[in-house]
């Protein structure tokens, strides 16, 4: 048994480091609060903000997961050329700056959007109501996260063990029975961590909620934190609010981290011929795919269309764009590499915990301890992260400008970590189960086993995880608000600054460039990492 | 205070994106590689000449902002190096100085506005400016010992003349137009959002809540930033957006687009004055004061209208052709900073309760 503990210990140490970082970030604000006592008064409507945020995040998660399952189910049954590219393009929502997607949604569904323009021309009337409100928030969150859910569930279905499919086919299961008996158990195991990631993204969503929310009745908890930092400077209150947020989010973090991954439900890709459904189920599947293409694709098309303007080429050819592009690529590459390395540590540790658990030793606590801190990081409000990282950087004595890029890389890597670990976890768990014996018989070291056996075999998953981590970082610029490095700009930042200076055409061009870059990265990176033989994964 | 013809357009404070860093764009293609090197090494620091460090909001230091022009203009004669450290908002700049305390590298904080003046003064971090500002012209009397005003503008609702030929001329009129939609900013997250709360309060006093209740059905959404609000307006999602009287001047001068205008409200318009101050901990206080003097000089102020799109404070500056006309002092509303500081939470609460 002891041979399993090396990797578990590594995972526990990493998890402890992440937990310490979170504690240090909060503590640094607590220490600073001694110098800035503030009023100590919590924001006036903190209870209301929590309720609306909880409602919004729960609804968004539910809608995203259900849609994701439906899309995955349809994709698994309906084979068409470019199916994987289709999934990759859908995933762009997750990794674009949320504000870009929100504006894409408005360009399609808004008062002056495509749908209403079309309806006006055809029928002389607009859609009832507006896109602004709780439904607008949930809809935008669906576009941001639904494709991720689809991708993860689809991977589960695509990895269905061949013997199960064979059995199902010989029993001539109907579409519903097939879903309940074969698909659902495979998907179910992936849901807790998927739902947790989506819930945490939605809970901490700020720009989307305020842009589409339609007013303070749908405001988000984070405005209370803004209030505590902007109106009277009260870092202690900001830290307490962040702690409350963290505590609430543990409701989803604990099941996500503690739930077994169900790796036994993953097999080798079936060599059986494609097994489609027939009749109404197939019609429903095709309709689902077409609907998904419209719902997810139209806002992205709108973002692209926004770039069609005079001066777009000049923007793309400007030195500022070239510099921001290069900076973004470097930061994204570094954070993706870091995220993958950290995710491997966590996923390998969890895989060994599963091995121990299989022998009957209670190991749920280890799973929880390894998994929870990475999720907890996602529950931290961006403003608290910015303040905390700034305070911690000052402790190191380094010039803020100098450490800003490193902190951005770390912050982005941690943001992508739970997702990357969730992608790598199940295949590694399955592999560990099968290679543990091999390792023993060949007397392989853990390192050799990792490099020679495990990494080559999970290359497709590594590719997808790396692509997602890369693009998440590409679209984000969260924590360096206070660092103010005079020589540091990334593409999202370039876009935001242009937007803030009436230069909406420039902003639209940069947004479209980001979208193209993201799609390109989502298609290319998995190929680069997985190798030509694995492109299908 | 006598005021000639001030120039001005828009204000950039809103430009800040709260989750973003700010900085200037430089053109070196090598920058990414230097950036990578930064991960490993500390950059070379200043040599023999003194370095004047100015914390400001990012749009001020942007390529198209006033920062680069002020830097080269002042460096021509000061024998110093000017460094703008651009953080995501002026309030973030203040918070950063507060966190750094005595150890801050900043000599000047530039870009706060009068709503935050009292809070900034209470930090005790700022020194008396000691400048003679009697030659400046603002719509209000200015006698602040610590803060130097460097531009100003009025909040206003901006609209598109083609789609809204007859805009409302007051908050009450706005509330009475059936189906008229506006977009505003959240006072907790954005400076113009707070400006609107102060505007309604200054205009309506204890009846402010009634005005907010009447406005509520017209509000499309309450955004986290001026940029999001303005972009939604440009996309056609509302008839009017909370911005500045100078916003249309940008479209006219920079884009040749005459469609936009700012609605004049008979209650008057709330004034935003942007201010700069020297830190008491600055190792070069004299140099810092010289910079502030340059900032408000005719030469320094000439950069303001078409870079920061605000009215310059120096009456010797001629406004460019097509610029907005400044409002009169009679049409100007302003609540003194101490009263703002003491009441802003209550007033924001009143607004939120009324429109929630």
Please tell me what DSSP assigns to residue A360.
Answer: T
When CB atoms are compared, the residue of B21, B85, B221 closest to A212 is B221
Choose the closest CB to A477 out of B19, B29, B237: B19
DSSP per residue, A71-118: HHHHHHH---TTHHHHHHHHTHHHHS-HHHHHHHHHHHHSTTSHHHHH
DSSP letter, residue B5: -
Residues contacting residue B306 through CB under 8 Å, at least 6 positions apart: B9, B253, B254, B320
Of B224, B349, B355, the CB nearest to A44: B349
pLDDT (tens digit, 9 = 90+) per residue, B209-264? 999 999 999 999 999 889 899 999 999 999 999 999 999 999 999 889 999 999 99
In the 8-state DSSP scheme, what is residue B329? G
Q: What is the 3-state secondary structure (H, E, C) of A172-216?
A: CCCHHHHHHHHHHHHHHCCHHHHHHHHHHHHHCCCHHHHHHCCCH
C-alpha span between A159 and B109 (Å, rounded): 58
Of B84, B87, B236, the CB nearest to A111: B236
**A340-387: per-residue pLDDT in tens?**
999 999 998 988 888 888 777 777 788 889 888 998 998 988 888 888
pLDDT of residue A272: 61
Is some CB atom of chain B closer than 8 A to the CB atom of A387? yes
- Is A215 close to B20, i.e. CB distance below 8 A? no
**pLDDT band at B69, cuts 50/70/90?**
very high
Best interface-test mutation with B: which of A330, A502, A507, A510 has the largest number of B CBs within 10 A? A502
CB contact under 8 A, A320 and B235: no
Contact with chain B for residue A314, Cβ under 8 A: no
B21 pLDDT more than 50: no
Dihedral sign from CA coordinates of B71, B72, B78, B83:
positive
Using CB atoms and an 8 Å cut-off, which of residues 259-298 of chain B contact chain A?
Answer: none
A164 touches A269 (CB < 8 A): no
Q: B57 — contact with chain A (CB < 8 Å)?
A: no
Check residue B303 and give its pLDDT.
Answer: 92
**What pLDDT, in 10s, does the model give residues A227-252?**
888 887 888 888 988 998 999 888 88
B201: which residues sit within 8 A by CB, 6+ positions away? B208, B335, B343, B347
Tell me which residue in B61, B228, B344 faces A211 most closely, judged by beta carbons: B228
Q: Which of residues 181-210 of A touch B (CB under 8 A)?
A: 206-207, 210
How many other CB atoms are there within 10 angstroms of residue B132's CB atom?
8
Work out how many CB contacts closer than 8 A connect A with B: 253
User: What is the distance in angstroms between the Cα of B153 and the nearest Cα belonging to chain A?
Assistant: 16
* DSSP conformation letters of B277-323: EEBTT-S-HHHHHHHHHHHHSHHHHTTHHHHT-SEES-TTSPPPTTP
- Please report the ipTM that was assigned to this predicted complex: 0.88
pLDDT of residue A488: 75
Indicate if the pLDDT at residue B49 is higher than 90.
no
Looking at per-residue confidence, does B283 or A399 come out higher? B283
How many CB atoms are located within 10 Å of the residue B102 CB? Answer: 8
Total length of chain A:
537
Residue A502 contacts B where some CB pair is shorter than 8 Å: yes
pLDDT at B39 over 50: no
Helices (H) and strands (E) in chain A, counts: 25, 0
Which token pair is B356? 């929630």
Mean pLDDT of B182-199: 93
Pairing of β B51-57 and β B81-87: parallel
List, in order, residues 6 or more apart from B325 with CB less than 8 Å away.
none
Q: What is the pLDDT of chain B when averaged over all its residues? A: 85
pLDDT band at A306 (very low <50, low <70, confident <90, very high): confident
Once rounded to an integer, what is the mean pLDDT over residues A178-192? 86
Q: Say if A40 is an interface residue toward chain B (CB within 8 Å).
A: no
Bridge partner list, B311 = B152
* Surface of A (141-160) touching B: CB under 8 A: none
Nearest CA in chain A to B31: A323
Among the listed ranges A461-470, A482-491, B160-169, B279-288, which one has the minimum average pLDDT value?
A482-491
Residues of B within 8 A of A382 (CB-CB) are: 19
Cα–Cα distance list, A469 to A94, A194, A256, A405, A412 (Å): 11, 15, 19, 17, 8
Q: Most confidently modeled of A336-350, A443-457, A517-531? A: A336-350
Query: How high is the pLDDT of residue B37?
Result: 46
């Amino acid at each position: 048994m002891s041979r399993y503990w090396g990797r578990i210990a590594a995972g526990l140490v990493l998890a402890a480091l992440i937990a310490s970082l979170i504690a240090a970030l909060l503590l640094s604000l607590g220490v600073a609060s001694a110098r800035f006592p503030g009023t100590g008064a919590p924001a006036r409507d903190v209870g209301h903000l929590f309720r609306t945020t909880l409602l919004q995040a729960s609804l968004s998660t539910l809608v995203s997961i259900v849609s994701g399952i439906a899309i995955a189910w349809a994709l698994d049954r309906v084979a068409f050329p470019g199916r994987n590219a289709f999934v990759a393009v859908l995933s762009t929502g997750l990794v674009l700056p949320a504000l870009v997607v929100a504006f894409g949604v408005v360009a399609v569904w808004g008062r002056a959007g495509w749908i209403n323009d079309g309806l006006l021309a055809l029928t002389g009337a607009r859609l009832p109501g507006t896109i602004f409100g709780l439904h607008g928030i949930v809809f935008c969150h669906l576009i941001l996260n639904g494709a991720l859910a689809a991708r993860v569930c689809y991977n589960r279905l695509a990895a269905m063990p061949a013997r199960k499919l064979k059995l199902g086919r010989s029993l001539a299961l109907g579409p519903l029975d097939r879903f309940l008996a074969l698909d659902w158990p495979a998907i179910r195991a992936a849901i807790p961590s998927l739902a947790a990631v989506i819930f945490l993204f939605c809970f901490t969503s700020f720009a989307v909620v305020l842009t589409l929310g339609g007013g303070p009745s749908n405001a988000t908890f984070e405005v209370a934190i803004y209030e505590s930092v902007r109106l009277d400077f009260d870092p202690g209150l900001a830290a307490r609010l962040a702690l409350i947020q963290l505590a609430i989010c543990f409701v989803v973090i604990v099941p996500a981290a503690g739930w077994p991954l169900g790796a036994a439900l993953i097999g080798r890709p079936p060599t059986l011929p494609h097994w489609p459904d027939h009749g109404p189920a197939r019609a429903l599947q095709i309709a689902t795919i077409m609907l998904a293409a419209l719902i997810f694709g139209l806002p992205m098309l709108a973002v692209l269309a926004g770039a069609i303007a005079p001066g777009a080429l000049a923007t793309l050819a400007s030195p500022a764009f070239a510099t921001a592009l290069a900076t973004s690529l470097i930061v994204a590459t570094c954070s993706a590499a870091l995220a993958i390395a950290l995710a491997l540590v966590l996923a390998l540790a969890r895989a060994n915990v599963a091995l121990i658990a299989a022998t009957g030793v209670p190991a749920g606590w280890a799973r929880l301890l390894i998994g929870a801190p990475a999720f907890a990081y996602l529950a931290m409000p961006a403003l608290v992260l910015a303040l905390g990282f700034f305070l911690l950087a000052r402790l190191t004595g380094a010039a803020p400008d100098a450490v800003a890029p490193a902190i951005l890389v770390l912050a982005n890597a941690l943001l992508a970590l739970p997702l990357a670990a969730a992608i790598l976890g199940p295949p590694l768990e399955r592999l560990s189960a099968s290679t543990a014996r091999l390792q023993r018989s060949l007397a392989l070291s853990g390192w050799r086993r990792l490099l020679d056996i495990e990494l080559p075999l999970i290359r497709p998953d590594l590719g997808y995880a790396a692509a997602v981590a890369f693009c998440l970082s590409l679209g984000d610029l969260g924590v360096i608000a206070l660092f103010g490095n005079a020589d540091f700009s990334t593409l999202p930042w370039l876009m935001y600054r242009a937007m803030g200076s009436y230069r909406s055409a420039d902003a639209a061009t940069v947004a479209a460039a980001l979208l193209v870059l993201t799609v390109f990265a989502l298609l290319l990176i998995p190929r680069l990492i997985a190798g030509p033989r694995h492109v299908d994964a | 205070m006598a005021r000639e013809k001030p120039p001005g357009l828009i204000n950039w404070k809103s430009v800040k994106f709260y989750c973003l860093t700010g900085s200037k764009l430089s053109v070196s293609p090598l920058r990414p590689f230097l950036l990578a090197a930064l991960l490993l090494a500390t950059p070379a620091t200043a040599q023999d000449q003194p370095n004047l460090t100015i914390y400001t909001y990012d749009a001020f230091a942007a390529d198209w902002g006033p920062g680069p022009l002020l830097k080269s203009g002042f460096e021509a004669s000061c024998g110093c190096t000017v460094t703008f450290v651009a953080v995501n908002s002026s309030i973030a700049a203040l918070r950063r100085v507060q966190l750094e305390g005595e150890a801050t590298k900043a000599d000047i904080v530039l870009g706060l506005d009068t709503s935050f003046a009292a809070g900034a003064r209470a930090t005790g971090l700022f020194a008396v400016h000691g400048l003679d500002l009697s030659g400046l012209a603002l719509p209000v009397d200015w006698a602040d010992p610590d803060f130097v005003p460097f531009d100003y503008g009025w909040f206003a609702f901006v609209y598109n003349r083609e789609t809204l030929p007859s805009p409302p001329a007051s908050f009450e009129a706005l509330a009475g137009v059936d189906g008229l939609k506006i977009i505003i900013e959240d006072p907790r997250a954005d400076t113009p959002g707070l400006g609107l709360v102060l505007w309604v309060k200054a205009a309506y006093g204890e009846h402010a809540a009634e005005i907010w209740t009447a406005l509520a059905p017209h509000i499309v959404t309450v955004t986290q930033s001026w940029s999001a609000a303005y972009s939604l307006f440009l996309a056609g999602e509302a008839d009017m957006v909370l911005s500045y009287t100078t916003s249309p001047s940008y479209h006219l001068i920079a884009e040749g687009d005459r469609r936009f205008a700012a609605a004049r409200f008979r209650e008057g318009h709330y004034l935003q004055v942007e201010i700069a101050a020297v830190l008491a901990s600055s190792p070069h206080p004299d140099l810092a004061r010289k910079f502030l003097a340059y900032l408000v000089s005719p030469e320094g102020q000439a950069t303001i209208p078409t870079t920061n799109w605000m009215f310059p404070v120096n009456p010797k500056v001629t406004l460019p052709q097509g610029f907005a006309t400044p409002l009169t002092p009679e049409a100007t509303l302003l609540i003194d900073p101490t009263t703002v500081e003491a009441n802003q939470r209550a007033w924001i609460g009143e607004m939120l309760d009324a429109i929630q």
